[in-house]
Structures are given as structure tokens and as C-alpha cells.
Amino acid sequence: MLLTPIINSIEYLLRTGPFIILGVALAEILVSLGWFDKFDFLVRPITNFGHLKKECGVSFLTAFASTSSANASLKSMYDRGMIKENEMVIASVLNSFPAIVMHWRTLLPVLVPLLGTTGIIYVGLITLVGLLKTLIVLIAGHFLLEAQEVPFEYTEKKEAPGLKEAVRESLGPAKKTIYRIFSVMVPVTLLVFILTDLEVFDLLGTYLQPVSEYLPVPVEGLPVIAALFASHLAAYTLASNLMEQGVLSGLEVILVLLVGNIITSLGTLRIYVPHYVGIFGPRLGMRTMLISQALRMFVMVGITGVIFLVK
């Protein structure tokens, strides 16, 4: 019974682990080389408004390549005392926006052929959710964090070492951080996949399905919501067929997909729990994940409500 969860856990760790290791190592090397100052100008308006240190800005840029690397680098900075807990949480939530933008490469090739303009609008709305979530967390940082009136000194002023020396200096701190992350991430990942294999998340979805009958969507769109519990691709394909047959309009398909996204959000826990808890630890990981997901749901419910009212 444990064979499948073990295999799935290994596959997940092999897929995400290298990026986490890379993120931690890169953060330590950049600290040694003093490169944070060189990247500061790219995201200075964002970090200045959110009262975040420039190190968080570099993490934000890293998130466009890998959210795992970006968050792992934040944890490494936190462990070294470079940023405080609230800064780390806010910066981590901020890092979720680049992940949405990078998700275009998987969404657009599927949604555009299936749903055409409707698919593009849906992706735009999902991106808008991420953008508004980012603005909210920046405003929160503006009021909750102290303004950075002077440059943050993460080391004593000294001449930057060469690359080889910087790599050598970063090995010790990087190893400690990586060990701390994976000592939590491995068992949590295995537990999540065991629960998935026992269909615990599917059971939660089954309990939620009856609620869909009371949602502000056409009855014809309920099968699309049900399909989302099993496969997003299946749901998009079904929505495409219903739209082609004239059963649902483009606006109704968007509404159905947004509502389905809200209802099936519990299913995403199997992805987010190993990521956040594995990188930040149980307390900080759960706090960061819950804040991020709560903000996402709040914004998505608001946008869905507006579309329903103007429909």
C-alpha cells in the first residue's frame, strides 16, 4: 500500500528538491559576493513601498524562474537574521505572483485551443487575482513593517571575495539550511501522498460537491465543477464542448471555472503543504500558506461576485 505514495514522494522531491538546494546555495553565494546591491534597482519601487529589504526583491525576481528557489532563499536569509519573520511571510506571499505569470506557459497552450478568447480572458482574470493579492500584501507590508530608512547591512563592509572563496564561505550555512528544510519536507511530503493515496482529499471533494448546487452558476455548468475535482484538463475540455454546443456562453464558462476554482481549492493542499511546510517549517509554513491562500480566495470570490452581478 505504501509503494505508490513512496514512489510519488520520491518523484515530487526529485522534481522540487534541486530547485530548493539551488535557491539556498544561490542566496548564500549572493550574500558572500554582495550582489544584492547590484539587483536592488530592478525591484526597488516594490520593496520600498512594501517596506521590504532589498534581499526580498532579489527573491521576488528569482520567483520568475522558481518559486521553490525563491522561498528557500528567503528561509536562508531569515535563518541568518537578514530579514524578520513578518518580512519573510510577506515576501513569500509576494513571490506567488511570478509563479502565476510563469504558469501561462502551461495554461495558454491548453486553454486557447479549447476555449479561444474565453480561455484568454480566464487566464487574464486568474492573473488579475494574483496582481490584486500582490497589491494587498504590499499595502500590508507598508503599514505593518518599518520603513527602511538606511540600507540594510547584512555583513560588515569589506571587499567582496572571489567566486571560489564565496562558494567556500557559503557551503557551511547552505548545508545547515538544506538539512533543516529536508528533515521536515521529506516526512511531510510522504504523509501528504499517503493521504492522497487513501483518497482523503477526494473524500473532502465529495463532501463539497453537494454545495455546488447552491452556487451562482448555471445547472449545466455543474459537471465542469465536478470534473475539476479530478482533472483541470478534463474540465476545460468539457467546458469547451458545452460552449461549442451553445449550452454555456463564454461568460458562463468563465464564471463556472472561477467558482470551481474556489470550490476545489482544498485539493491544492496536497501541493502547497509539502512546499510551504517543507521550506519554512510547520509553524511558519502553515502561517504563510494560510495567509496566501486566504488572500487568494478573498480576491477570487470578489472578482467572481462582480462577474455574476454584471452577467
What is the reported pLDDT for 150?
Answer: 46
Closest to 6 measured CA to CA, from 182, 183, 192: 192
3-state helix, strand, coil split of the chain in percent (to 5) is: 85, 0, 15
CB neighbours (10 Å) of residue 33? Answer: 18
Residues 145/90, Cβ–Cβ less than 8 Å: yes
What is the reported pLDDT for 57?
Answer: 86
The pTM assigned to this predicted structure is 0.73
- Judge residue 225's burial from the number of C-beta atoms within 10 Å of its C-beta, 0-12 exposed, 13-18 middle, 19 or more buried: buried
Residues 243/230, Cβ–Cβ less than 8 Å: no
pLDDT tens string, the chain, 311 residues long: the values are: 678 888 888 887 887 788 778 877 876 777 677 665 565 666 888 888 999 988 788 888 888 877 888 898 898 889 888 899 999 999 999 998 888 887 786 677 778 888 889 999 999 999 999 999 999 999 999 999 988 654 444 444 445 566 677 777 777 777 877 887 788 778 877 887 787 788 775 665 566 556 656 677 777 787 888 778 767 777 888 888 888 878 888 899 999 999 888 888 776 777 788 889 888 988 999 999 999 999 999 999 999 999 888 76
84/63 Cα distance (integer angstroms):
19
CB neighbours (10 Å) of residue 293? Answer: 19
How far from each other are the two terminal CA atoms of the chain, in whole angstroms?
A: 48
